[in-house]
Structure formats: C-alpha cells, structure tokens
Amino acid sequence: HVYETPRGSTQALSDISFRVETGRFVSIVGPSGCGKSSLLMMIAGLIRPTEGTISAGGQPLVAPDPKRIGVIFQDASLFPWLTARANVEFPLSLRHVDRKERQERADEALELVGLSGFADRHPHELSGGMKQRVALARGLVQDPPILLMDEPFAALDEQTRLSMGDEVLRIWERTRKTILFVTHGLSEAIHLSDEVLVLTSRPGRLVETVTVDLPRPRTFETMGGRRFEELRDRIWRRIKS
C-alpha cells in the first residue's frame, strides 16, 4: 500500500501475504509506523490496497461489510448523548432493524461483555474499561464472523488492560469468531493469540508468523513461564532485525 501526499509517495506496506483460518485469534505486531493499522483498515474495507487483493470466506473485500467484518478501534468513540444500549444499537439502526429486535440484540451483546446492569448509563457514567466494553459490544451486535481490533486497550491502565484481555478471550472462547488484533504489546499478543504476525519497520513486511504453542486456557502465571519468555524474545529479535 502506498500513500500519496502533496510531498510525495510513502510506501506503508510491501509483500504482505498471509491466511487466517476460521476461528483463530491472530495478533499483528511491529514497530511504530510499520503499517499495522493500515493493514487492518484495508482488511476492514476502509482503505483500498494499492496492489493486491483481500478476501474473506472466499469472497473479495472491496468495501466495508459489517455482516462479515466488525471493527473495534482504539478510541471507543461513543456518542455521549446516547445510553450504552443506544450506542450498541446504533449500527443496527443504520440498517433499519426493527426497534424491538435492536434492543434485544443490544442487551444480549451487553450481557456478553458483562455490562447488562449498565445498559441505561451514559458514557460519562462509565469507566474507561466499561466504555471499551460498550465499543466491543457494538462490534459484536451484528454478529460478524470476523472481528478486527485496532489497539483497543492502548489507552487503558495495565490492570484494566489485563482484565480486558481476559474478557476478550472469554468472549472469543464462547463465540469462536476469527479475531485479528493489532497491538504494540508483545506480552499481550502472546497471551491472547494462536499466531502472531511480525512486521518489519516501514515499509511493513511480514517477516515471520510465530505460532504460540502455549496451552489454553491462559493464566497470569503463564506469562511468567520460560516458554512465554522464549516466544517474547523471539518476536522482539525479529522486530529489531
């Protein structure tokens, strides 16, 4: 992918090719500015690749398709004047889904993320972690088989971040959606993922797909184990090479 600007061209990504199997949890890591978010936005259909093709389920992706792919961004981006339920309902309202069905599906999504008792709260009444849970529920409410997550916990403190990671794993184990997760955190990537895609500095190139051969369910103690440290060191060396 090449960005064209008044100052010239900037190549963000080059020679990216990979396949994600259905139901897998895959993280994308690499140096700042290597094109991780650009790659995710291309998969979401929000950016057109300069060259190459992207497909899901054997069908090409050329535009946003919320029935196939849901996106959760770093910023929760909730409407402050809407309740948590109404924020989750919003993408369904754009599709003119019946009001009763919208409410039922929004409540189910909020229950899935552990916020069933906060449906009528407004964003200013929620903590940072709770806002991100609402954003997660909004991404889940249309029940897409693929979920893209672009550093969704970057703005959270470490304790909340760890808690949200475990929450995402719980939801993934229950729904078995295919998840692509962009993060700067190597430990986070290893803790969550089946595979980790490692990109080089700009232009981002895929240098290795690291299989995380740690047993599930993962625990906090897993992060202190020798194999976890070996995987983290291996990924770090590939990023720095």
Give the Å distances, CA to CA, from 111 to 36, 171, 179, 217, 229. Answer: 31, 11, 20, 22, 35
Taking only the tens place, the pLDDT of each residue in 191-221 is: 999 999 999 998 899 999 999 999 998 888 8
Going by pLDDT thresholds of 50, 70 and 90, the confidence category of residue 67 is confident
By the 8 A CB rule, do 80 and 124 touch? yes
Token pair of 193 as six digits: 């993922």
Going by pLDDT thresholds of 50, 70 and 90, the confidence category of residue 148 is very high
CA dist 187 and 165 (Å) reads 11
Highest mean pLDDT range out of 104-108, 112-116, 155-159? Answer: 104-108
Comparing CA positions, the residue from 170, 166, 187, 143 lying closest to residue 27 is 187
Going by pLDDT thresholds of 50, 70 and 90, the confidence category of residue 53 is very high
**Residue 146, pLDDT score:** 94
Give the Å distances, CA to CA, from 116 to 85, 100, 176. Answer: 9, 17, 21
The pTM (predicted TM-score) of the whole model is 0.90
By the 8 A CB rule, do 200 and 30 touch? yes
